[in-house]
Amino acid sequence: MKTIETMHFLQQIEGYQFYSFEQEPKQDLKIGMPTKYLENMNFPDLYRSWGIDAVKNPYAKRKLKPREWKAFEKVFFQWLKQFPFLKEPLYSTPNLECNWELLNIKKWWKKDNKAYMSMLEEANVWHTDATYRIIQIEQWCELKQLAKMAIRGVPLVFFSGLGIVFYITDCLTMRIFAEDISKIEQTLLQYIDFQILH
């Protein structure tokens, strides 16, 4: 992982003109793990649940234990690793004026948050200066750690070198934005099984 100067990054992203931080594109592709994955996890209603907010939540329809959620995340990351555009140069930044830091840290997140903060510090990412708002992701373990924190509430935006922008959500889904969403959908179908969510 390394820092990229914001202005340098903006000069490279002519292919991302369809995306605006201030207003999300009208078209997106929201996808999740296929039904068979959810059934194997014994949670076919995952995408109708409260997601990570169901953990230790007595008001959730199905209250989850932290170890259950971490098992779901493990399956999610195995599925996510198959995406072809993750092999291209990847960049990430917090959305708009947001920071890299997670402010509301639940007790069972502390270990992940500590690993995340250490990773940012080692890469000299921890800047409040807007000059360094972008990181380049160089290894799968870095993307996985960032994705964990996105799931926990850090508002991260990811950019793929293929002209794709995506979010990773607190329900273990992806929201994908691109110039031609239909083309991206057809390309993904050649590589990975998924379900389209609404």
Question: What pLDDT, on a 0 to 100 scale, did the predictor assign at position 129?
Answer: 62
pLDDT at 156 over 80: yes
Residues 182, 159: Cα–Cα separation, whole Å:
18
Question: What pLDDT, on a 0 to 100 scale, did the predictor assign at position 22?
Answer: 81
Mean pLDDT of 161-174: 93
Mean pLDDT of 66-89: 94
Question: What pLDDT, on a 0 to 100 scale, did the predictor assign at position 11?
Answer: 74
pLDDT at 128 over 60: no
Mean pLDDT of 166-188: 95
Lowest mean pLDDT among 57-61, 62-66, 94-98: 94-98
Instruction: Report which residue type is found at 140.
Output: W
What confidence tier does 184 reach under pLDDT thresholds 50, 70, 90?
very high
pLDDT at 130 over 90: no
For residue 51, what are the CA distances in angstroms to 7, 33, 55, 84?
Answer: 36, 13, 8, 25
Question: What pLDDT, on a 0 to 100 scale, did the predictor assign at position 97?
Answer: 75
What confidence tier does 5 reach under pLDDT thresholds 50, 70, 90?
confident
What confidence tier does 6 reach under pLDDT thresholds 50, 70, 90?
confident
For residue 138, what are the CA distances in angstroms to 92, 116, 124?
Answer: 11, 15, 14
Tokens linked to 40: 């194997």
Question: What pLDDT, on a 0 to 100 scale, did the predictor assign at position 161?
Answer: 77
Question: What pLDDT, on a 0 to 100 scale, did the predictor assign at position 54?
Answer: 97
H or E stretch including 157? strand 156-160
pLDDT at 37 over 80: yes
Q: Which has the higher per-residue pLDDT, 146 or 162? A: 146
The number of angstroms, rounded, from the C-alpha of 177 to the middle of its chain's C-alpha atoms is: 13
DSSP letter at 107 equals G
pTM: 0.93
Condensed to tens digits (0 to 9), the pLDDT of residues 100-111 reads 888 889 999 999
Question: What pLDDT, on a 0 to 100 scale, did the predictor assign at position 21?
Answer: 80
* HEC per residue, 33-67: CCHHHHHHCCCCCHHHCCHHHHECCCCCCCCECHH
Which of 111-115's residues contact partners 24+ apart within 8 Å by CB, and which partners? 112/145, 112/148, 112/149, 112/152, 113/149, 113/152, 115/145
For the chain, give the percent of residues with pLDDT over 90: 68
